[in-house]
Amino acid sequence: MRTLVDMIAALLLLAGCALAGPVAASGHPQADITARIAPSAGRLEGEMRLTLPDTEPLPLSLGPGFELTEAEIANGEVERVGQRGVVLRPATAGAATLRWSGAPPGSARSYIGDRGAWLGDQAGWYPHPTRGRLGYELTVALPERLQAVASGSRRRDRVRDGQRRLVFTHEGPSLGITLLAGDWDKRAQETEYGTVYTLFPETLAGQHDTYLERTAAYLETYSEWIGEPPHETYTVAAAPFPVGLGFAGFTALGERVLTLPFIPGTSLAHEVVHNWWGRGVYTAPEQGNWSEGLTLYMGDYHQAARRAADEARRMRGDWLRSEAALPDTADYPLEAFHSNAGPYDEIVGYKRGAFLFHTLHRALGDSGFDRAVHRFYRAYRHREAAWEDLAAAFTEAARAEGRDPERIAALLDWFRTETELPRLVFDERTLTVTEKPGGGYRVAADLSWDAAGYPVRVPVTLTTEAGTAAHRTVALEPGETTRVTLASEAPPRYLRADPDYHVYRELVPGEGAAILRDTLLAESVTLVSEWDGVTGAARHALSGRVAPGQADRERPLLIVGPRQAVARTLEAVRACGMQRIRPVATSPVAWASTTGGGRPLIALAAESPDQARQALRRLGRYGRHSYVAFGAGHETETGLYEPTDRNALRLPLADQLEGG
Q: Strand, coil or helix: what is 248?
A: coil
Other Cβ atoms closer than 10 A to 22 = 15
Domain spanning 2-183: which superfamily? tricorn interacting facor f3 domain (2.60.40.1730)
Return the pLDDT at 18.
31
Render 154-205 in DSSP notation, one character per residue. EEEEEEETTEEEEEEEE-SPPS---EEEES-EEEEEEETTEEEEEEE-GGGG
A 10 A CB-CB count for 581 gives: 13
> Are 2-183 and 424-508+649-659 equal in CATH topology?
yes
Integer angstrom CA distances of residue 185 from 139, 199, 618 = 20, 6, 31
Q: What is the pTM of this model?
A: 0.89
Helix (H, G, I), strand (E, B) or coil at 3: helix
Handedness of CA 221, 227, 232, 238 (dihedral sign): negative
Among positive and negative, which fits the CA dihedral 643, 349, 329, 451? negative
Predicted confidence at residue 443, as pLDDT, reads 96
From the number of C-beta atoms within 10 Å of its C-beta (0-12, 13-18, 19+), residue 6 rates as exposed
Q: Where are the alpha helices (DSSP H) in 201-308?
A: 208-226, 255-258, 267-274, 291-295, 302-307
What's the CATH superfamily of 424-508+649-659? C2 domain (2.60.40.150)
Omega of the bond leading into 588 within 30 degrees of 0 (cis): yes
- What pLDDT shows up at residue 8? 35
Q: Quick one: which of 310, 424, 330, 408 has its CA closest to 368?
A: 408
Please work out, in degrees rounded to the nearest 5, the angle formed at the alpha carbon of residue 189 by the alpha carbons of 273 and 198: 65
| DSSP per-residue codes, 89-154 | EESSSEEEEEEEEE-PPPBTTBEEETTEEEE-GGGT-S-EESSS--EEEEEEEEETT-EEEESSEE
Q: Are 252 and 180 in contact (CB under 8 A)?
A: yes
pLDDT tens digits, one per residue of 338-397:
999 899 999 999 999 999 999 999 999 999 999 999 999 999 999 999 999 999 999 999
User: Taking a C-beta distance cutoff of 8 angstroms, is the pair 377, 227 a contact?
Assistant: yes
CA dihedral (518, 521, 527, 529) positive or negative: positive
CATH topology of domain 517-639: Chitobiase; domain 2 (3.30.379)
Q: In the chain, which stretches have pLDDT less than 70? A: 1-26, 577-580, 645, 658-660
Q: What's the pLDDT at 107?
A: 74
Domain topology for 282-417: Neutral Protease; domain 2 (1.10.390)
Phi/psi at 488 (nearest 5 deg)? -145, 155
Cα 362–368–374 angle (5° rounding)? Answer: 125
Sheet holding 163-170, edge to edge: 66-73, 94-102, 43-52, 30-38, 135-143, 163-170, 153-160
CA angle 14, 18, 19 (to 5 degrees): 100
Query: Is 619 exposed, middle or buried (CB count within 10 Å of its CB: 0-12, 13-18, 19+)?
Result: buried
Domain-wise residue ranges, the chain = 2-183, 282-417, 424-508+649-659, 517-639
Do 152 and 231 meet the contact criterion of CB atoms below 8 Å apart? yes
The burial of 10, by beta-carbon neighbours within 10 Å (0-12 exposed, 13-18 middle, 19 or more buried), is given as: exposed
Type of residue numbered 590: A
